[in-house]
A and B are shown apart, each in its own frame.
Chain A
Amino acid sequence: MNVAVRSTANAPDAAALKAQAARLRGKIIEMSHKAQAAHLASSLSCADVLTAAYWHVLNIDPGKPADPLRDRFILSKGHAAAALFATLAMKGYFPIEELDTYCQDGGRLAEHPPANLLPGVEAATGSLGHGLPLGCGMALAGRIKGESFRVFALLSDGENNEGSVWEAAMFAAAQKLENVCVVVDYNKWQATARSNETLMLAPLRDKWAAFGWDAHEIDGHDVGALAEAMQNIPNGSGKPVALIAHTVKGKGVSFMEDDNNWHYRAPTAEEVVKANKELGLA
């Protein structure tokens, strides 16, 4: 078995992670403003999950993005690309200045993560419901090749509408893919309506549990708790792990929180200033 040296399982430094999450949110807001791009609230919703993953959990080396032993992180809710791009740039996968090319003509940063183009992006996403099947394939490849890397897939709640998610869920359980962890960004909003008024997701934890997963509810904005739970994969249950992360769409900026207009809206310069103040960045 090829085991990569995993970062020592230090207890997460919650305060440091929190500060990092605020910086990430600031960057995302700046990008959304400059590009006047949609999906800002979707990106803010999952900023803490990304922070926990990239600044504590993942066994990765930005200098070696193709290392076969690296942990895989798949942003299955690809419309939160701004959050992923900002994360990867801040981690050093590519120059931070490249974020200025987000949505600009001829650049590498279109509005969804691209295939085979940008270091650190494990899979092209944007069509919802693809990340988990891909992740299962990656985990099985690791098993077959004797590489014990872990696979994390971040799904949106609306994405749980897709049948392909549940096909993969049953597959992963049957294959006992204990190296696979799904985090569901459960912000209770989809693009045009409340999630549970669109398709009935609730009780979401019970559903994942019934599909054979070790499923837990978690506060999706408690970076420390997220870091601990994700770091603990595989957790000895012998099952793939689902973290149903309760989140608030637009989290971090009072006038965006739980207001689904920010699924499509981009902030004005004034709103950016206000947001930065609230995030303690000004």
Chain B
Amino acid sequence: MRNAFADELTKLGNEDSRVVMLSGDIGNRLFDKFKDKHPSRFFNCGVAEANMMGVAAGMAMNGLRPVAYTITPFVTTRCLEQIRTDVCYHEAPVTIVAVGAGLAYSGLGPTHHACEDISFLRSIPNMVVICPGDAFEVRGALRAAMQQDRPVYIRMGKKGEPVVHKGPIADFKIGKAITIEEGSDVCLLSTGNMLPEAIEAAHKLKEKGISAEVVSFHTVKPLDEDKLKQAFARFKLVATIEEHSLIGGFGAAVSEWLADTETQHKKFLRFGTPDAFFKKSGEQEYAREVLGLTGHQIADKIIHALN
């Protein structure tokens, strides 16, 4: 996702002279092309994320389209006050791009995990929250964000994730979920970098004769309410899947929607991370296995819930 972001950003920078890139001293070489073409519109803001976010807001309030980028906790929780007050309160069109969402950087330990950011950011007025499911969704989200006149948060995984879409998504729309695989028994609503696990779960379910629809629910705020209505009306089980805390994340947003709209539904499961820091050493695959977030574990729990 990371390389797709840098590449799409360079293209956007060529097309639109308002695009400015701010990085928090990470992404060695990642932005070389952007820097080459637009040296006056690239800033390494150092290890000073609060300042970076304030600077981005100031630029956006004066006609520019800044993109502020670093590792997820540092571009969200580290500068939350600046996001809330400088960016969102002013409705400044800053695009915040985070790398290493959820447990993507599991091996770096809890200081680098990010399982609370959706919760914090979606509670701030004026903020849009997008969690792309693959590299093409990253490209679509970034392009769509630039066409908005408001703050947008894009939560990416890392690099080298499986690519799910076959090519560029022509009609990527903020707030419009994308059906990846059609199904008839259960519906898996996945957000962000869990999409490959959701697809894997669907395949495991198919082996057991259960037909699963897989949806990349890339926008957590605003929710695609039409999609939710259809899903809860049609399927005997709906599950939300995310690499984020069950508190305040995508599943929580859907629960709130269910309660607020008094939507009748059958079974509803939420997959996400627990209310605990993941302290063990180990990479993302290991962390997912321990937390029951791999495709086969998701499938098993769904089968259990259906019985």
A192 touches B44 (CB 8 A): yes
B48 touches A192 (CB 8 A): no
CB of A198 within 8 Å of the partner chain: yes
Binds B, one of A63-71, A89-97, A159-167, A230-238: A159-167
Indicate with 1 or 0, residue by residue over A105-130, a CB within 8 angstroms of chain B CB atoms. 11111111111010000001111110
Within 262-292 of B, Cβ neighbours of A (below 8 Å) are at 277, 279-283, 286
Nearest to A200 among chain B residues (CB) is B46
- Which residues of chain A are near B175, meaning CB under 8 Å? none
Q: How near does chain B come to A213, taking the closest CB pair, in angstroms?
A: 20
- Which residues of chain B are near A102, meaning CB under 8 Å? 281
Indicate with 1 or 0, residue by residue over B124-142, a CB within 8 angstroms of chain A CB atoms. 0000000000000000000
A109–B281 alpha-carbon span in the complex (Å): 6
- Which residues of chain B are near A103, meaning CB under 8 Å? 107, 281-282
CB of B84 within 8 Å of the partner chain: no
CB of A78 within 8 Å of the partner chain: yes
**For the complex, would chain A's binding face be called helix, strand, loop or mixed by DSSP majority?**
loop
Q: How near does chain A come to B289, taking the closest CB pair, in angstroms?
A: 9
Nearest to B286 among chain A residues (CB) is A105
Nearest to B77 among chain A residues (CB) is A127
Within 118-167 of A, Cβ neighbours of B (below 8 Å) are at 124-129, 158-159, 161-163
CB of B78 within 8 Å of the partner chain: yes
Indicate with 1 or 0, residue by residue over A76-98, a CB within 8 angstroms of chain B CB atoms. 00100000000000000000000
A105–B277 alpha-carbon span in the complex (Å): 16
Of B27, B50, B73, B111, the contact of A192 (CB 8 Å cutoff) = B27
Q: How near does chain B come to A5, taking the closest CB pair, in angstroms?
A: 34
Indicate with 1 or 0, residue by residue over B42-83, a CB within 8 angstroms of chain A CB atoms. 001111101100000000000000000000011000100000
The listed residue with most B CB atoms (<10 A of its CB), out of A101, A127, A190, is: A127
Q: How near does chain A come to B106, taking the closest CB pair, in angstroms?
A: 8
A162-B47, A193-B44 as given contacts; A124 in contact with B282, CB under 8 Å: no
B111 touches A125 (CB 8 A): yes
A108 touches B281 (CB 8 A): yes
A190–B50 alpha-carbon span in the complex (Å): 18
A110 touches B46 (CB 8 A): no
A129–B258 alpha-carbon span in the complex (Å): 41
Of A124, A191, A264, the contact of B111 (CB 8 Å cutoff) = A124
B25 touches A110 (CB 8 A): no
B107 touches A110 (CB 8 A): yes
B47 touches A105 (CB 8 A): no
- Which residues of chain B are near A161, meaning CB under 8 Å? 25, 46-48
CB of A56 within 8 Å of the partner chain: no
CB of A104 within 8 Å of the partner chain: yes
CB of B108 within 8 Å of the partner chain: yes
Q: How near does chain B come to A225, taking the closest CB pair, in angstroms?
A: 28
A105 touches B108 (CB 8 A): no
A62–B107 alpha-carbon span in the complex (Å): 27
A114–B107 alpha-carbon span in the complex (Å): 12
- Which residues of chain B are near A127, meaning CB under 8 Å? 73-74, 78, 111-112
Within 236-278 of A, Cβ neighbours of B (below 8 Å) are at 263-264
CB of A199 within 8 Å of the partner chain: yes
A158–B25 alpha-carbon span in the complex (Å): 9
B110 touches A191 (CB 8 A): no
A126 touches B111 (CB 8 A): yes
Nearest to B30 among chain A residues (CB) is A192
A140–B107 alpha-carbon span in the complex (Å): 33
Q: How near does chain B come to A84, taking the closest CB pair, in angstroms?
A: 13
Of B26, B27, B109, B277, the contact of A111 (CB 8 Å cutoff) = B109
Within 84-129 of B, Cβ neighbours of A (below 8 Å) are at 107-112
- Which residues of chain B are near A110, meaning CB under 8 Å? 107-109, 279-282
- Which residues of chain B are near A192, meaning CB under 8 Å? 23, 25-28, 44
- Which residues of chain A are near B46, meaning CB under 8 Å? 158, 161, 190, 198-199
- Which residues of chain B are near A113, meaning CB under 8 Å? 109
A105–B278 alpha-carbon span in the complex (Å): 12
Q: How near does chain B come to A222, taking the closest CB pair, in angstroms?
A: 27
- Which residues of chain A are near B281, meaning CB under 8 Å? 101-111
A112 touches B47 (CB 8 A): no
The listed residue with most A CB atoms (<10 A of its CB), out of B108, B282, B283, is: B108
Q: How near does chain A come to B50, taking the closest CB pair, in angstroms?
A: 6
Q: How near does chain A come to B73, taking the closest CB pair, in angstroms?
A: 7
- Which residues of chain A are near B44, meaning CB under 8 Å? 192-193, 198
Q: How near does chain B come to A77, taking the closest CB pair, in angstroms?
A: 10
Nearest 6 Cβ contacts at the A-B interface = A126-B111, A110-B109, A105-B282, A161-B46, A110-B281, A161-B47
Could you give 20 example pairs across A and B, Cβ below 8 Å? A103-B107, A105-B281, A105-B286, A106-B280, A106-B282, A107-B281, A108-B279, A110-B280, A111-B107, A112-B109, A161-B25, A162-B48, A163-B50, A190-B25, A190-B47, A191-B47, A192-B23, A192-B26, A198-B25, A198-B46
